[in-house]
A and B are shown apart, each in its own frame.
Chain A
Amino acid sequence: MIELKGLTKTYAGKNVVDNVSLTLDTGEFGVLIGPSGCGKSTTLKMINRLVPLSGGRIILNGDDVTELPAEQLRRRIGYAIQSTGLFPHWSVAQNIATVPQLLKWPKSRIDDRVDELMAMFHLDAAEFRHKYPHQLSGGQAQRVGVARALAADPEVLLMDEPFGAVDPLTREVLQAEMRRVHQQTGKTIVFVTHDMDEALQLATRIALLNGGKLVQYDRPIELMVKPDNDFVREFIGQADLGLKLLSRRWVHQYQREPSLEHHATHPGLDHCWQLDDAGRPVALEGARLDEDHEVTEVKPEWTATPGMSMKEALSRMVWYRVMVLPVVDDAGKLIAEIGMQGIMGIQAENGTQAS
């Protein structure tokens, strides 16, 4: 658990962080967000004291961080940054082992931990262990950076715009991985970004800052449907609020039994799936926007998985002009379907169209 109490940072007489107080429970994924210069990075860096505090207190699991020796404190806190900051003269394995080595773990324990982390981030140990940072792609380097931050099993993980410098495709993959790693490890994470979509993807708590002040601290959905003031409303953006809500919803929450025969009388169910012997969907009869009852071949590009966000599912429906997507498991077997009705259901459930 991290508690910020009246946290303040003054540069040249100006409060860049101004009396910020918030509490992040163990296991939460907290995102600090706001426009440039709002003090989000400074706030993050005060937690591991890379930036000294001007006022206020930070309590990490009961300990006041200013009362611990700085190096000892930082070895309890994982730290990942935008440009990765990997040590260019060390191999991937050595980089990941940075903090365990400082903590003087025995070699066998370090080796096991490095293997474990490389497996967690889907980096093939045989291929990557001995590579140097300049031999990695941006996405791979960032994975190594996060693995290094997690190496000594820290109490908290701090991440300063870690995915800001990678291309959009890689960023999406890394965000999905980060969500999985958070679920797997249950780590308390403090994450800085200026990208609202990223915050909504990852956060369990969002702290919106402006001009050094905390504007609103809430769950992502609350932030969207109950903004405290116009600044929050404006920062989240009203135009695609519906889509943002969808990015917090997952296919498995709204999927339904697949229709395996025609229900001509039931609007929206006037379609059915054709399966192969292994139970994989091969074709869809009907449910096209334009051609009724046409048989459409199922393509991998417009299948959904239970873990996919509803936003992505909707995007696939629109792009491939189908009213319903097959939901398949890892083996490609049809386990459910997700349709436009599912998406509209989300709106109904929330009810409150932010006024």
Chain B
Amino acid sequence: MKGYAGKYLIVDLTRGKTSVGRVDESFALNYIGGYGFGARMLYDMMPKPAEVDPFSPENVLIWWTGPLAGTISTAGNKYAVFAKSPLTGIFGFGISTGLFASEFKSAGWDGAVFTGRSEKPVYLTIDDENIELRSASRIWGRTTWETEEMIKEELGDESFTVASIGPAGERMVRLANITNERNRQVGRCGLGAVMGSKNLKAVAARGTKDVEVFDVEGLVRFIAELNERCQGPATEKYRVYGTPANILVHNKLGCLPSYNFQRGTFEYAEEVSGEMMLKTHVKKIIACAGCPIACDHVNQAREDHAGTVSSVDYESLELLGPNCGIRSLDTITKAVEICDTLGVDTISAGNVVGWAMECFEKGILTKEDTDGVELRFGSNEALLEALRRLCLKEGRLGMLLSEGVRRASQIVGKGSERFAMHCKGLEWAAYELRSLQTSTLGFAVSNRGADYLRSGSYQVDVKGQVDRLRLDKSRGKIVYDGENQYAVIDSLIICKFTRGVFKSMDELAKLYTLVTGLSMTGEQILKAGERIHNVARCFNVKCGVTRKDDYPPPRAFEDPLPDDVVKGAVIRREEYEEALDGYYECRGWSRDGIPLKRKLLELGLSKEAEEVGVEA
């Protein structure tokens, strides 16, 4: 089989030893790559996940590319990282993009698995077959951007690509991410903190080998067609305004979270819109390696924080902006820079700071708790100071916020859990819960917690294809279909912004076959998607996840939206239960959200059927 390198690296950090594992054809066909490989391997390598402390050496840190990385495939240079998440305590998973994935594959590797814990800080270099764990004592404490530069300098070649953690990951901040090429992140689930717990500062990769594909002529022809489609209407939004185009669209629909999800519109939306940002702050639009779309809008701050440069997408902009009551693009640009360089997820960070601001305004947190920070909505200084302290675990406020919103609200108590906006411990992303209800179901059942990237179920709401202010049983099917498709996309791995570019699952299967030479139909690849999703769910069931965990936070049910456009919108509990039942039925899971043996066997998951599956 082509496309795959056919092997992965096994790194025992405790002993400082490396070995090689093989990727065989049945593994490839059943699990595709990326998400699929990670789910399968995390399940197999961690037989009793409930007993594993995410920060202990027993946690396993897994990196995978997919078959498309390093080929010319449209927006296909991606890699994924997995571990038991320190933020959620369940299946932890994140995807990043860029040249890193291409170099990694070109070095002759599909993935890397890290076990144990290094005694001292190290970083791994992958230079074709030459694998080395090198001392990171000189770079420990440095920001992600500094780390990239220092490692390239130390290795004497800037064609090394580097994925690293910042000071937040080193300190095991539960929101810590992994950064490559400055602006690209494995953002969610705190996987940077797992690297920190293992004393692994970075992975640097350089490859010089051809990435062999099955039908290179056919692939190049197909890519020409796909890349051409990528200049069409399906991706226009991303090309012109980037994802921040969503700000005004969501504001109009009343689904733009503001003031920690107390409202669904923002009175200063115009000032932080994608349109405004393009006019006043975007200095350059750049692309990930191999991407014909180019969505990455790099900002330069003006008066305040002049000279500050960061890449600002919708989620970062929204959660650090409107969700914290912030209307200054300069401040948001600076806030993203703090998160990116010190190394935390902007979504989770903006969410937890928003929660703390609400606590402060309600008198639940006092100036004593915040070490003197006037943590009010709309305060630029407060936002930036809170973020800095969060990243560095500085003082009482920093320590509290670094735990993430679920733990922080449990520590503070006093009813603050009621407006801690998360599911399964993962902070809710920038989609309002009550005015996008299919989306909310998708977020709540997701395998990694409150997650917009596992099913894309917000689309039917935003596009007006369903009554977005109500729920019914049929929504389960929408989420189910979306999840299976996205599991394929995340396993290949290909950028979700191409989803309107492919006409069918058959086209995705065709791409897979051109690259690998393994025959695959749209139906088969979708089945693989369903299989992959179920493996990850089974891992979560072993961690204790059941129906009780598949709910949005109380605010969704208890606080009707005050905004005129969606006045009174709230999720009705009985409707939610019905939609959840509908989802479980599609999935072939019990009413308690546990996969049925029968379903697992149908997917060829006999081990899961035995260990996790229940009878109907």
A interacts with B: no
B residues sitting closer than 8 Å to A (CB atoms) are none
A residues sitting closer than 8 Å to B (CB atoms) are none
